[in-house]
C-alpha cells in the first residue's frame, strides 16, 4: 500500500557544510595505521545530528585510503606519522568512523577529490557543538606539501 500525502510534510533540522579544514600532515612517508596530522576540532553548529557526507581534496593525487574517526571531545595527541592508538578512557569518547576508500576518489589531472555520501553517523550531546577528528592512514602515501589535504563535512542538524 502506497503512502499518500495530501499536505506538505515538514522535516526538522537543516543541512550544514563545515568550512574546509586543512589537517597539518607531514611530507614523510605514511604507513598503515599512522596518524595523519594531530586531532583537530570541527564545529558542526549543533549539539546533535547526523554526519551525512565527507568531502576530501587531495592536491597530490595520492588517493590513500583514510579512516576518519570522530570523538565527542579532545583526545591525546598522537604524533603525526606515528601509529595511532587510544587510551582506554578515550574509547568512551568515540562517536564513529568512516573509511575514505580508493573507490571514493575521482582522479583529475594533478589532484583528486573524494566524496563519501550517506555516512549516517549520529551524534548527540556535543560540548560546544564540536567534535574532534583524527585521520588515520591505511595506505602508504608520501605527500608533497603539508597542506595537500583539505576536508569538509556535511551535517544534518537536529
Scanning the structure block, which residue is given the C-alpha cell 575521482? Answer: 106
Distances (CA, A) of 56 to 11, 46, 84, 158: 28, 22, 20, 24
Distances (CA, A) of 116 to 19, 25, 51, 94, 143: 17, 21, 11, 20, 21
Q: 77 or 137: which carries more pLDDT confidence?
A: 137
Scanning the structure block, which residue is given the C-alpha cell 603539508? Answer: 146
Residue 78: predicted pLDDT: 84
- Cα torsion for 44, 45, 47, 52, to the nearest 10°? -40
Residue 5: predicted pLDDT: 57
Report whether pLDDT(1) > 90.
no
Average pLDDT over residues 109-127: 96
Residue 6: predicted pLDDT: 64
pLDDT for 11-50, tens place per residue?
557 999 999 999 999 999 999 999 999 999 999 999 999 9
Report whether pLDDT(3) > 70.
no
Residue 117: predicted pLDDT: 97
Report the chain's C-alpha Rg in angstroms: 17
User: Hey, which residues does 148 pair with through a beta bridge?
Assistant: none
C-alpha to C-alpha distance for 125 and 12, rounded to whole angstroms? 17
Residue 8: predicted pLDDT: 60
Residue 55: predicted pLDDT: 98
Report whether pLDDT(74) > 60.
yes
User: Hey, which residues does 156 pair with through a beta bridge?
Assistant: 15, 50
C-alpha to C-alpha distance for 118 and 53, rounded to whole angstroms? 6
Ordered domains of the chain (ranges, CATH): 23-157 (2.60.120)
Amino acid at each position: 500500500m502506497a503512502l499518500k500525502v495530501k499536505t506538505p510534510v515538514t522535516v526538522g533540522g537543516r543541512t550544514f557544510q563545515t568550512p574546509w579544514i586543512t589537517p597539518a600532515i607531514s611530507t614523510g612517508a605514511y604507513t598503515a595505521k599512522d596518524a595523519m596530522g594531530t586531532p583537530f576540532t570541527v564545529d558542526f553548529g549543533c549539539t546533535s545530528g547526523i554526519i551525512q557526507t565527507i568531502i576530501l581534496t587531495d592536491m597530490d593525487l595520492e588517493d590513500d585510503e583514510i579512516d576518519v574517526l570522530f570523538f565527542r571531545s579532545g583526545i591525546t595527541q598522537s604524533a603525526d606519522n606515528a601509529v595511532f592508538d587510544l587510551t582506554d578512557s578515550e574509547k568512551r569518547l568515540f562517536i564513529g568512523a568512516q573509511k575514505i576508500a580508493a573507490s571514493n576518489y575521482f582522479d583529475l589531472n594533478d589532484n583528486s577529490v573524494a566524496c563519501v555520501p550517506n555516512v549516517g553517523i549520529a551524534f548527540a550531546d556535543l560540548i560546544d557543538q564540536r567534535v574532534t577528528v583524527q585521520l588515520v592512514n591505511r595506505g602508504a602515501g608520501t605527500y608533497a606539501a603539508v597542506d595537500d589535504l583539505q576536508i569538509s563535512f556535511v551535517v544534518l542538524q537536529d
